[in-house]
C-alpha cells in the first residue's frame, strides 16, 4: 500500500501541483461578477387605435451577473427591456414591472434588478385634425415689405394622442430668409410636440410678393 503512494512520488506531486495551478487559473481568469449597464427600452404591440401620450422611458439601468467575459460591452450591445402592450384595449395609465422575463440578456448573463423597476405609461385614443400653417420670416430685404403671400398647403394634418392634438392650434415653418429676385420658397413645418406628427410629412411652399416701402 505504501509502495503505491511512494512509487513515482515526485512525479505525482508535480502532477498535483500542475492540476491545482490549472484549476486556479481557470477560476481566476473569468470570475463571476456583477455589472450595471444602460439597456434600451422597447415598446411593442401598441394597439393600432391608441397612442402613448406620456413621456417615454428610453432606457433602464439593469444590474446583472455573469462571468467577466460575458459582461463586455459588445456582448451586452443587444440587451433590451421589452414593454409589451398586447391586449391593452382601454385608455388610461398602465404600469409595467421590469423583471427577468421581459429583459433579453445574452446567454450566461443573469438579471438581478432594474432602475427604474417599473415603467408607467398613459394610453390615449389616436386623433387627427387639420391646423393652419404659420410662416416665419428670418429676414426681409431692406426697403421692402411683404405685400402678399400664398402658402401651399395652408393647412396640414397632425396626428397623435387625443389630448396633445387638441392642444395644438397651428404649426410653424422654419424661418424663411427672403432674398431679392426670388419669390418662391420651401420650408419644413415644426409641430412642437414630440408625441404629435405630420400625416403625411411634407414641405410647405410659400410664394411671396414684395413691394417697396414708400
- What is the per-residue DSSP string for 23-51? HHHHHHHS-EEEEEEEEEEEEE---TTEE
**What's the average pLDDT block by block, 10 residues per block, for the chain (214 residues)?**
47 49 53 90 92 93 91 89 90 94 93 95 95 93 87 96 95 90 89 94 92 82
Q: What is the pLDDT of residue 29?
A: 55
- As a whole number of angstroms, the distance between CA 45 and CA 193 comes to 23
SS3 content of the chain, % helix, strand, coil (to 5): 15, 50, 35
Q: What is the pLDDT of residue 73?
A: 85
- As a whole number of angstroms, the distance between CA 159 and CA 124 comes to 12
- As a whole number of angstroms, the distance between CA 195 and CA 89 comes to 20
In a domain, 11, yes or no: no
Examine the fold and report which residue of 108, 125, 142 is the final residue of a domain before the chain moves on: 125
Same domain, 135 and 115: no
Under 8 Å between Cβ of 178 and 140: yes
In a domain, 7, yes or no: no
Q: What is the pLDDT of residue 4?
A: 42
For the entire predicted model, the pTM comes to 0.71
How many domains in the chain?
Answer: 2
Cα angle 177-181-182, degrees, rounded to a multiple of 5: 50
Amino acid at each position: 500500500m505504501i509502495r503505491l503512494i511512494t512509487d513515482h512520488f515526485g512525479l505525482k506531486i508535480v502532477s498535483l501541483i500542475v492540476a491545482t495551478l490549472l484549476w486556479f487559473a481557470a477560476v481566476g481568469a473569468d470570475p463571476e461578477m456583477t455589472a450595471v449597464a444602460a439597456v434600451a427600452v422597447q415598446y411593442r404591440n401598441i394597439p393600432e387605435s391608441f397612442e402613448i401620450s406620456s413621456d417615454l422611458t428610453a432606457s433602464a439601468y439593469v444590474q446583472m451577473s455573469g462571468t467577466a467575459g460575458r459582461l463586455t460591452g459588445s456582448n451586452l450591445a443587444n440587451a433590451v427591456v421589452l414593454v409589451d402592450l398586447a391586449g391593452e384595449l382601454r385608455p388610461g395609465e398602465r404600469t409595467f414591472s421590469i423583471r427577468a422575463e421581459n429583459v433579453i440578456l445574452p446567454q450566461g448573463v443573469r438579471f438581478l434588478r432594474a432602475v427604474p423597476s417599473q415603467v408607467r405609461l398613459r394610453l390615449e385614443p389616436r386623433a387627427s385634425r387639420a391646423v393652419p400653417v404659420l410662416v416665419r420670416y428670418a429676414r426681409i430685404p431692406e426697403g421692402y415689405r411683404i405685400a402678399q403671400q400664398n402658402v401651399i398647403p395652408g393647412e396640414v394634418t397632425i396626428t397623435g394622442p387625443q389630448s396633445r392634438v387638441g392642444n395644438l392650434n397651428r404649426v410653424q415653418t422654419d424661418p424663411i430668409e427672403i432674398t431679392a429676385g426670388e419669390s418662391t420658397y420651401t420650408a419644413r413645418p415644426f409641430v412642437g410636440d414630440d408625441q404629435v406628427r405630420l400625416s403625411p410629412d411634407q414641405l410647405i411652399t410659400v410664394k411671396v410678393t414684395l413691394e417697396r416701402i414708400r
